[in-house]
């Protein structure tokens, strides 16, 4: 469990994290091997809510779970990754190659920080650097060495500068783009798809960095940041106690376990 006084503890409770998380999936899809590993091994098309929940579950657990819970979940994830293979251009690769694990980690934390910043969360430059340093712990859970993971804004910018030549739009990235705009859900959930597509699916795409939008090749919303801030303000009108009832519920359980004094607040940012 991370320190309740950390940047991550306060920041990951913000409702904009859902938009940021989906944005990170669009960004991850631009790495040909990383996206091939997902498309060739995941059941995301058959179980869209389950796939998104499992991703959110692991991210939330890494901040708010107990040390024992985190250790068990990390062991499961590493074991699963060790067993998976993908094929790109006729060549087989392991899904747990450090290059791919690092790309997924950096895509996630970069989107978490930048999307919340654009939504008006309001971290100082020092707090942003603290956040990247804290999130090295999350990278260690999937098997990366913390010292090899960007731990500041400058280091993260350098990582993307080095990695961008390897990125491109592919048939697999188009699959992810279509999936994130309209997951093939069934039952009552299907009636909410048009609203989801407008308010979440394309908004999350629109807040990618400009170079990622160019690679994907689709037009973003104009004034995406303004709509993102409106969405955040609307979500914050829902009391925190009610927001924490939504799955996966790691923060709610952390507060029950540790006491109300660990309830996240921007006033507690270090």
Based on the number of CB atoms within 10 Å of its own CB, is 103 exposed (0-12), middle (13-18) or buried (19 or more)?
A: buried
Mean residue pLDDT of the chain comes to 93
Taking only the tens place, the pLDDT of each residue in 127-163 is 999 999 999 999 999 999 999 999 999 999 999 999 9
φ and ψ of 171, to 5 deg: -60, -35
CA atoms within 13 A on the CB side of 156: 22
Among left, alpha and beta (phi > 0; psi -120 to 50; other), residue 98 is alpha
Average pLDDT on 77-105 reads: 94
Q: For residue 155, how far is the Cα from the chain centroid?
A: 19
Q: How far apart are CA 218 and CA 211, in angstroms?
A: 12
Q: How far apart are CA 128 and CA 113, in angstroms?
A: 7
Return the bridge partners of 93, or none: 86
How far CA 227 is from CA of 109, 203, 234, in Å, comes to 21, 8, 11
Taking only the tens place, the pLDDT of each residue in 95-136 is 999 999 999 999 999 999 999 999 999 999 999 999 999 999
pLDDT at 248: 81
Does the pLDDT at position 245 exceed 90?
no
How far CA 236 is from CA of 114, 119, 156, 239, in Å, comes to 19, 12, 29, 7
Q: How far apart are CA 2 and CA 211, in angstroms?
A: 32
| The model's pTM | 0.94
Q: How far apart are CA 66 and CA 53, in angstroms?
A: 19
Average pLDDT on 196-224 reads: 96
């Amino acid at each position: 469990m991370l320190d309740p006084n950390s940047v991550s503890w306060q920041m990951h409770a913000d409702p904009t994290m859902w938009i940021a998380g989906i944005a990170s999936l669009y960004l991850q899809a631009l790495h040909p091997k990383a996206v091939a590993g997902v498309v060739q091994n995941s059941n995301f098309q058959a179980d869209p809510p389950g796939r998104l929940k499992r991703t959110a579950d692991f991210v939330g657990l890494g901040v708010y779970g107990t040390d024992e819970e985190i250790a068990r979940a990390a062991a499961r994830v590493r074991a699963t990754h060790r067993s998976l293979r993908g094929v790109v251009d006729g060549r087989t690769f392991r899904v747990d190659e450090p290059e791919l694990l690092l790309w997924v980690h950096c895509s996630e934390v970069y989107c978490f920080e930048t999307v919340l910043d654009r939504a008006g969360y309001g971290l100082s430059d020092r707090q942003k650097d603290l956040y990247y340093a804290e999130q090295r712990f999350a990278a260690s859970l999937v098997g990366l060495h913390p010292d090899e993971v960007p731990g500041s804004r400058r280091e993260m910018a350098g990582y993307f500068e080095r990695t961008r030549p390897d990125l491109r739009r592919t048939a697999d990235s188009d699959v992810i783009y279509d999936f994130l705009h309209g997951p093939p859900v069934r039952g009552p959930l299907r009636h909410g798809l048009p609203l989801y597509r407008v308010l979440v699916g394309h908004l999350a795409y629109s807040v990618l960095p400009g170079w990622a939008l160019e690679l994907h090749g689709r037009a973003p919303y104009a004034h995406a940041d303004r709509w993102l801030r409106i969405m955040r303000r609307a979500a914050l009108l829902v009391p925190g106690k009610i927001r924490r009832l939504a799955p996966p519920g790691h923060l709610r359980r952390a507060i029950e376990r540790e006491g109300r004094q660990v309830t996240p607040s921007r006033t507690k940012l270090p």
